[in-house]
Amino acid sequence: MNARPPDAIGRFEILSLLGRGAMGVVYKARDPHIGRVIAIKVIRDDLFAGPERDQYLARFNDEAKFAALCRHDNIAGVHEFGFDHDAPYLVLEYVDGVPLSRAAPKGYSVAPQTAARIAFQILEALAVVHSQGITHCDIKPDNILLTREGQLKITDFGVSRWDDTRLPSAPLMIGTPSYMSPEQCLGHSIDSRSDFFSLGAVLYELLTGERPFQGLAYTDTIFKLINQPHHALSTLRPDLPAEICAIVDTALAKKPESRFQDTAQFIQALQSAAYQGDIASAFDLSEFAPFEECFSIPLGQDDTQDVEPIVSKRLAASVPQKRRRYLTGANGLLAAIIAPVSRWLGLTPGTVLAPPRFYRLQRKED
């Protein structure tokens, strides 16, 4: 799985590994012609050589097109798309920064004004993305880079889709369970409002230090996300202004029509709530982990996954309340069994051994 970085890809000299995702590997590289440092993304070797090669090639080509269409200061830019022999690569802007997941790791929380300013920069980027008829589909802290100057840049259009497309078109849906919207989990048609749900999850985590929906196994996470409300922000942080809590609650609404309907509406709500300063102004980096410590964290694979749709609309919307309690308990029991085994095997919460069949069995009983 691209365990050792190559010496070069195309004309670009490979300097180091930057990260791995569900589909690709990203390297820091240098263009010898002009001396520019860039980031270069390739498809993972195991996927490129696998039976679904054509599917991954098509997805990678889409990523290049989406990234090229979306140009903004808060989006990591694309420079070039090419081939090294028959393997495609994507040349991207190198961002001297760290993912928000490292700058604000689990347990960190920021001031509401800081969260509003972060949201503003992300929404400025999403306004451009959505204006092109694109839904990003994977807004999460790992895909938001924070520079030393306090600028944010969203990255990774690897799972992006055109608005109103149905997910998935294949047997798998793609995304990061803790940040996916309910409609994305269910494989329904999606649009820009799905990204607002994901941003709501990011804001919740920034404000509380924990994710709004989290289970011992990703099946449990998705079940909670679809069926259960998040814990009220006011109970976790009583100091938060009611206006900020209301914004996050709106973004995390289960139904798309109950969320913000466009970026302008979302930004207007943030501006109205920002009673202590302009949300477009810079924020204080001292609230985040020291940058040098962030850079020293060992690289790992992010938690974007190809995930089997495990909860049907019928199960999510029509199951009697009594049976929902049974499913929640049974799923929790399953997660409790899986968790110690996973720890014994050395697996991370994002590791998927095989698509679960639990909910499929429940559907057969109907």
**Amino acid letter for position 216:** L
Measuring CA to CA, which residue among 93, 110, 176 is closest to residue 141?
176
DSSP for residue 269: H
**Amino acid letter for position 52:** E
Cα distance between residue 253 and residue 29, in whole Å:
41
Structure tokens at 46: 């195991």
Cα distance between residue 308 and residue 183, in whole Å:
14
Measuring CA to CA, which residue among 184, 200, 178, 149 is closest to residue 303?
178
Distances (CA, A) of 174 to 147, 158, 161, 208: 28, 10, 11, 26
41 annotated as a binding-site residue? yes
Helical segments of the chain, H only: 45-48, 53-69, 100-103, 112-131, 182-185, 192-208, 218-227, 233-236, 242-251, 263-273, 291-296, 313-318, 321-345, 358-364
Residues 6+ apart with CB under 8 A from 58: none
Catalytic residues, which ones? Answer: 138
Measuring CA to CA, which residue among 229, 222, 271 is closest to residue 123?
271
Cα distance between residue 245 and residue 203, in whole Å:
10
Binding site residues for ATP, as ranges?
A: 41
